[in-house]
Structure 1
Amino acid sequence: MAFTNSCYPRSISSHGKRQMTIEEFKQWLKQFDYDGDGRISKEELREALRSVGGWFTTWKSGRGIKSADTNGNGYIDDTEINNLISFAEKRFGVKIVMS
């Protein structure tokens, strides 16, 4: 999946994936927090994936929430974002690096 959103850097890693920092990933994801509660729901994550032309967005968003949501409340908050980063590197076709 290629990220085409303008907030994504256009550099390509040696693995052939789009590369961004953790902060860039968080900033991109937060723009889909439509209700402004500081958390990402399954529906918001699905919209984020759709915005970059993702396939199987319902499945991927469900798996992303399940993988990252350690407290089981159905949302990804700031304390769980690193869990989503790990999932994103495997499933979203992006390489996330330290700033």
Structure 2
Amino acid sequence: MAIRGIQSARGMSVEEFKEWLKQFDVDGDGRISRGELREAIRRRGGWFTTLKAGRAVRHADRDNSGYVDDAEIENLVAFAQKDLGMKISAW
């Protein structure tokens, strides 16, 4: 199930995805928490946001800190492509 309204027909680049996520980093620490990601998915019309955000953070968070940081963003991109149906490319 794709997150509605999050991208144009052409998709988005990894950099555009990062910029989109930054607006939900409410505490400004440079990391995305489960709650911040839940709000991002919710704002774009996604359903079951708590479940999806939890799965996304568990998939992307390799150091088990509870946050997705810049070093783990590629893992979040892979999850968004596979499990959220987002079109994200390297260009």
Alpha-carbon distance in structure 2 between the residues aligned to 1:95 and 1:68: 17
Structure 2 equivalent of residue 11 of structure 1: 9
Q: Tell me the C-alpha RMSD between the 2 structures.
A: 1.2
TM-score, reference length from structure 1: 0.85
Q: How many residues align?
A: 90
Unaligned runs of 5+ in 1: 13-18
Unaligned runs of 5+ in 2: none
Q: Any idea what SS the aligned residue of 2:65 has?
A: coil
Alpha-carbon distance in structure 1 between the residues aligned to 2:19 and 2:74: 13
- Bigger CA radius of gyration: 1
Contact 2:31 2:69 in 1 (8 A): yes
Identity of aligned residues (%): 54
Alpha-carbon distance in structure 2 between the residues aligned to 1:88 and 1:20: 12
- Taking CA–CA contacts closer than 8 Å with sequence separation of 6 or more, which of the two structures ends up with the larger relative contact order? 2
Q: Any idea what SS the aligned residue of 1:93 has?
A: coil
